Chains A and B, each alone.
Chain A
Amino acid sequence: MRKNTYNLEFKLFLSGSTAWIGIAILLITGFAGLYFGKSFIDNQHSVIKKASILQTENTLKNVEHFGKDIGLVFFHNKFSMANLPGNWAGFAIGQRDVNPYLISATMLALEGQIYDTDITNPVTLLSGNMDISFVFLYLFPLVIIAFTYNLISELKEFGIWSVLRAQTNHIIAVIWQKLLVRLVSILFTALILLTTAVLYLNIKLDTTLFTITLLLLLYLGFWFALSFCIISLGKSSNYNASALIAIWVLICIVIPAALNLVLIRQYPIPEALQNVINQREGYHEKWDMPKEVTMKPFFAHYPQLRKFPFPSDKSFSWFWYYGMQQMGDDQAIKSKKAMENKLDARQHFTKVAALFFPTIQTQLMLNEMAGTDLSAHLQFQESYRKYHEQVRLHFYPAIFLEQDIHRTNLKDIGLKQFIPQKKSNLNGLLSIAVITLLLIAMSLFNFRKARLIR
């Protein structure tokens, strides 16, 4: 009997055009999102491949052109590192379009090079990516709203409500059935898209997949709960639709945008500009100063390099030159640190804000697990800094001794690869779950109250 009514309820739901249009929109945009996401990532992969070839080619060219002067080779030669996109990056492109995924820098002052951006079209960045995370984040809620806003009100508006009330004592069960049918349809659509994503993007079956699936299901659950909470107020269909869309606009656009404004206001980063100036002055002013001004702090920084003979009588030496460059970085340490602190503060602010807004939370977690968020980029920068330091320490002796370039292993140095470490933080899931439960409790309360009155 019960099973039978579920069947009927399904038939009823699927006989309307809303259901099919909603599901079709989700599937079409979902597949489009996967396609755009995958091609975005494929493009990055192919660029990284080219970068790897160019790294070797350019090194050979530099050796050929400037090989007689080892200092000059390293003046020109760039060392590159690529931030490899993981398979999930095609799912949630995140900040990978804004932040460069290749860092190429010479051995000179790094602070003047590490922030160089890639070539991007700011208009495309502004409109945002059409990846599948967009479909889950923005469009699924809209379809959920479309499926549920008139769940109860329609019954009333068609006069079925009173008939139902007269016929059954389990009116809540009827509502529950209707809701369940919609929930199942949405979840089924979501699972189709997820399965396609797993196959299309070659996603491994691991804990990340599990966490993301759980996250998305919770997020969809949150919207169902929210929708149910509004319809349980027992208002008209038009009221429900207006209210739900207003809420959608509020938590998908207005509140995150307003919070972002607070963030920018609270934590402006003039240190970034200061950092450029510090680095530039720190290096350039040394040209007009006695050589000790450079070499004293340089040897303090690298006591192990003291053993190499410094040609203090020459008006120019690469030893001095690279020392001056190092001073650019060393004098920018404070502003760099200040910038990092500001970025940490921003991250912290966002994390706290996300606890209260499942939209922000879901987006942050998706990007975090896809390795496409700001912290993945900062990890990448940090990893490049370490690499740069290794390169410096490795080649400084050869430069300072003015060795033959062919005696170094420069030609063997290829493109370095970086893979961001995934952190999964389950607190986020908890916050969405708590909000969802609160909403369910509220709607049950509303519903009972409404039923008692009528």
Chain B
Amino acid sequence: MQNITLTIARQTYLSAFANRATLIFTLLLGFALCLATYVGWQNFRTQNQQRVHYKKVVRAQWLAKPDKHPHRMAHYGYLAFREKHELSFFDFGIESFAGVSIFLEAHKQNTVNFSEAGFSNGMLRFGEISVAMVLQLLVPLLIVFLGYSSISAERESGTLKIILCQKVNWRKLLWGKSIGIISVCLSIFIPLILLTILLWASLSDWQVSVDSALRLIILILSYCVYFFIVTAVTVLVSAFQHSSKASLTILLACWILFIVIIPRITQSIGAKVYPSPSKIEFADAVAHDIHKQGDSHDPNDKHYASIKDSLLHAYHVDDVKKLPFNYGGYIMAEGEKITATIYNAHQHKLNETFAKQNRITALAGLLDPFLSLKQISMALTASDFETFIDFQRQAEDYRYQLAQQMNKLQIDKISNVTPGEHDKPLSISKSNWAQQPDFNYMFSTVGDVITREALALISLIMWLSCTLLLLQYAPRWIKTI
């Protein structure tokens, strides 16, 4: 039994390459893939080098600041750059649509600016050529071209009856054709995987981490499963359709529907059903809540007046200037805490809204394996929405920590007596600046990624099982003639 399946597979494989059009298309695809890999890798290097370079500049400038008032440093702030994961040369994901740099300063949460999309005059919107794009979009198209007539052509030419009269049964025929077509894909995919591993290793300076290795393995497996699903569906459609023409039409229509139309529609619906606020609405809501809590700028504010009273009471003094620490710093630390808590609550709600918008696409992934694979691929290469949100979160934590560190320096080291307007401003030694560590983004672990993307993984596994079952049991419904 095995032998016949393999014979059919080999036959399919060889005849695919005997066809000049297929050969040319496959070679072109292989070429496109190599190009995409190489350019993706180069882009990764230049962009990441830029970011690492400016990260170093920012650090050096921070450390070189002279003696000054810590609150000046809090306003001088820090610039954080979103570093890329070494696997992101494989899949660009939302990279180009997400900002790159964020200015972190006291009292104020800024946006992540300078996305590639902001510098584009629209060509970017056609899509981006990356290894993932070629594998997700073009390889399925190759599979369709290879497989649409795999069985229907045999039926049309009358050879199907002859084949099935011999030792071949439907199951072996379906498996044989599927394996043959997948082998064609793998003959492009396997060299590509090797190239990817090589480039990935070189990007990690030949010191690959277990985490990344695991990511890559799951990534490769997911793509294999995706190719299998597409192949099985193609062969099945070809088996069920009477003419190759009908089979081709259906498969191409599916390709367009699943890959071009559905992703756009689901995301548009998501954005429509769960509207997100604009920046001014968001800022206004935050300001409103802060105002309710207390306004540190308002000397008559109740919240801060009560803090002042309790401090005066606890230290048995009648004026804040007599407190043993810097009162201004204390109030600012309190203000920062309140505003940051409120801001984070709003940011959390906003992220939830975005997650809801994306969930419609995620659910559509149950019907559209392309969407599930895309999600898995982006998550594993850390070029997905969650990674971006996580960057924002870590940057905000860093901002808060920086502001509070400076407030602490002010509380501990700055005199409580404000100098006159002609006096030299108060300052502390520059040696304090080094206490503030550099900003380093930490990627999530592969375990977290998998838990996060459980839905997409399940959907892909579900599709795999369905197609496996169909290959095994569909023959009873297929008509030979």
With A117-B113, A315-B419 known as contacts, the answer to whether A95 contacts B123 (CB < 8 A) is no
Q: Which A residues are CB-close (under 8 A) to B423?
A: 315
User: In the bound complex, how far is the Cα of B126 from the Cα of A254, in angstroms?
Assistant: 8
Cβ-neighbour of B280 out of A50, A95, A98, A281 (below 8 A)? A50
Q: Which B residues are CB-close (under 8 A) to A309?
A: none
A125 in contact with B118 (CB, 8 Å): no
- Distance of B354 from chain A, by nearest CB (Å): 5
Q: Is B141 an interface residue (CB 8 A)?
A: yes
A272 in contact with B121 (CB, 8 Å): no
B94 in contact with A43 (CB, 8 Å): no
* CB within 8 Å of A: which B364-401 residues: 385, 388
With A121-B271, A123-B94 known as contacts, the answer to whether A130 contacts B127 (CB < 8 A) is no
User: In the bound complex, how far is the Cα of B81 from the Cα of A274, in angstroms?
Assistant: 12
Interface centre among B76, B126, B248, B361 (most CB of A within 10 A): B126
- The stretch that binds A, out of B206-214, B258-266, B329-337, B456-464, is B258-266
Q: Is B50 an interface residue (CB 8 A)?
A: yes
- Distance of A123 from chain B, by nearest CB (Å): 5
Q: Is A403 an interface residue (CB 8 A)?
A: no
- The stretch that binds A, out of B9-17, B95-103, B185-193, B437-445, is B95-103
Interface string of A419-450 (1 = CB under 8 A from B): 00000000000000000000000000000000
Q: Is B252 an interface residue (CB 8 A)?
A: yes
Q: Is B268 an interface residue (CB 8 A)?
A: yes
B117 in contact with A124 (CB, 8 Å): no
Q: Is A197 an interface residue (CB 8 A)?
A: no
Q: Is A373 an interface residue (CB 8 A)?
A: yes
User: In the bound complex, how far is the Cα of B412 from the Cα of A371, in angstroms?
Assistant: 55
Q: Which B residues are CB-close (under 8 A) to A259?
A: 123
- Distance of B224 from chain A, by nearest CB (Å): 23
Q: Which B residues are CB-close (under 8 A) to A284?
A: 72, 75-76
With A121-B358, A130-B265, A268-B50 known as contacts, the answer to whether A367 contacts B122 (CB < 8 A) is yes
- Mostly, the A contact residues are helix
Q: Is B240 an interface residue (CB 8 A)?
A: no
Q: Is A5 an interface residue (CB 8 A)?
A: no
A273 in contact with B126 (CB, 8 Å): no
B276 in contact with A119 (CB, 8 Å): yes
Cβ-neighbour of A118 out of B125, B148, B278 (below 8 A)? B278
- The stretch that binds A, out of B41-49, B176-184, B302-310, B320-328, is B41-49
- Distance of B382 from chain A, by nearest CB (Å): 14
- The stretch that binds B, out of A162-170, A357-365, A390-398, is A357-365
B123 in contact with A54 (CB, 8 Å): no
- The stretch that binds A, out of B53-61, B194-202, B225-233, B472-480, is B53-61
With A116-B110, A257-B127 known as contacts, the answer to whether A39 contacts B121 (CB < 8 A) is no
User: In the bound complex, how far is the Cα of B295 from the Cα of A66, in angstroms?
Assistant: 12
A241 in contact with B79 (CB, 8 Å): no
Q: Which A residues are CB-close (under 8 A) to B295?
A: 65
B248 in contact with A94 (CB, 8 Å): no
B122 in contact with A94 (CB, 8 Å): yes
User: In the bound complex, how far is the Cα of B353 from the Cα of A428, in angstroms?
Assistant: 41
A273 in contact with B421 (CB, 8 Å): no
Interface string of B21-54 (1 = CB under 8 A from A): 1000100000010010001001100110011001
Cβ-neighbour of A238 out of B39, B245, B284 (below 8 A)? B245
Cβ-neighbour of B125 out of A39, A65, A128, A241 (below 8 A)? A128
Q: Is B116 an interface residue (CB 8 A)?
A: yes
- Distance of A239 from chain B, by nearest CB (Å): 8
Q: Is B348 an interface residue (CB 8 A)?
A: no
A288 in contact with B68 (CB, 8 Å): yes
Q: Is A350 an interface residue (CB 8 A)?
A: yes
- The stretch that binds B, out of A7-15, A177-185, A201-209, A244-252, is A244-252
B103 in contact with A360 (CB, 8 Å): no
Interface string of A272-286 (1 = CB under 8 A from B): 111011001100100
- Chain B residue nearest in CB terms to A244: B252
Size bin of chain B's contact surface: 35 or more
User: In the bound complex, how far is the Cα of B478 from the Cα of A53, in angstroms?
Assistant: 67
- Chain B residue nearest in CB terms to A258: B129
Q: Is A343 an interface residue (CB 8 A)?
A: yes
Q: Is A30 an interface residue (CB 8 A)?
A: no
A115 in contact with B114 (CB, 8 Å): yes
With A116-B111, A119-B350, A265-B42 known as contacts, the answer to whether A99 contacts B129 (CB < 8 A) is no
Cβ-neighbour of A117 out of B103, B118, B119 (below 8 A)? B118
Q: Is A192 an interface residue (CB 8 A)?
A: no
B72 in contact with A265 (CB, 8 Å): no
B76 in contact with A280 (CB, 8 Å): yes
Cβ-neighbour of A287 out of B50, B68, B249, B361 (below 8 A)? B68
- Distance of A229 from chain B, by nearest CB (Å): 18
- Distance of A202 from chain B, by nearest CB (Å): 21
Q: Is B106 an interface residue (CB 8 A)?
A: no
* CB within 8 Å of B: which A336-385 residues: 342-343, 346-347, 350, 353, 359-360, 363-364, 367, 373-375
Q: Is B297 an interface residue (CB 8 A)?
A: yes
Q: Which B residues are CB-close (under 8 A) to A146?
A: 249
User: In the bound complex, how far is the Cα of B297 from the Cα of A66, in angstroms?
Assistant: 9
Interface string of A115-146 (1 = CB under 8 A from B): 11111111111111110001000110010001
B137 in contact with A253 (CB, 8 Å): yes
User: In the bound complex, how far is the Cα of B33 from the Cα of A400, in angstroms?
Assistant: 62
B249 in contact with A273 (CB, 8 Å): no
A256 in contact with B422 (CB, 8 Å): no
Q: Is A263 an interface residue (CB 8 A)?
A: yes
With A119-B350, A238-B149 known as contacts, the answer to whether A276 contacts B32 (CB < 8 A) is no
- Distance of B332 from chain A, by nearest CB (Å): 16
B114 in contact with A123 (CB, 8 Å): no
B145 in contact with A273 (CB, 8 Å): no
With A102-B279, A249-B141 known as contacts, the answer to whether A260 contacts B267 (CB < 8 A) is no
A260 in contact with B126 (CB, 8 Å): yes
- Distance of B298 from chain A, by nearest CB (Å): 6
Q: Is B454 an interface residue (CB 8 A)?
A: no
Cβ-neighbour of A123 out of B57, B75, B244, B361 (below 8 A)? B361
B141 in contact with A99 (CB, 8 Å): no
A363 in contact with B97 (CB, 8 Å): no
User: In the bound complex, how far is the Cα of B263 from the Cα of A124, in angstroms?
Assistant: 10
Q: Is B70 an interface residue (CB 8 A)?
A: no
- Distance of A121 from chain B, by nearest CB (Å): 5
Q: Which A residues are CB-close (under 8 A) to B61?
A: 277, 281
A269 in contact with B98 (CB, 8 Å): no
With A100-B279, A238-B248 known as contacts, the answer to whether A269 contacts B119 (CB < 8 A) is yes
Q: A116-B279, A346-B119 are in contact. List 15 more A-B contacts (CB 8 A).
A: A50-B281, A104-B280, A126-B94, A127-B361, A134-B264, A146-B249, A238-B248, A272-B119, A276-B101, A280-B76, A287-B68, A288-B65, A313-B422, A363-B126, A373-B122
Q: What are 24 residue pairs bridging A and B, where the CB atoms are less than 8 Å apart in the complex?
A: A65-B295, A65-B297, A115-B113, A122-B94, A123-B94, A123-B357, A124-B268, A125-B117, A142-B256, A146-B249, A238-B245, A246-B25, A246-B145, A258-B35, A258-B129, A260-B120, A261-B43, A264-B116, A265-B43, A272-B114, A273-B81, A343-B119, A374-B119, A374-B122
The 9 closest A-B pairs by CB, nearest first: A256-B126, A374-B121, A127-B267, A130-B268, A122-B94, A257-B129, A125-B97, A122-B97, A47-B278
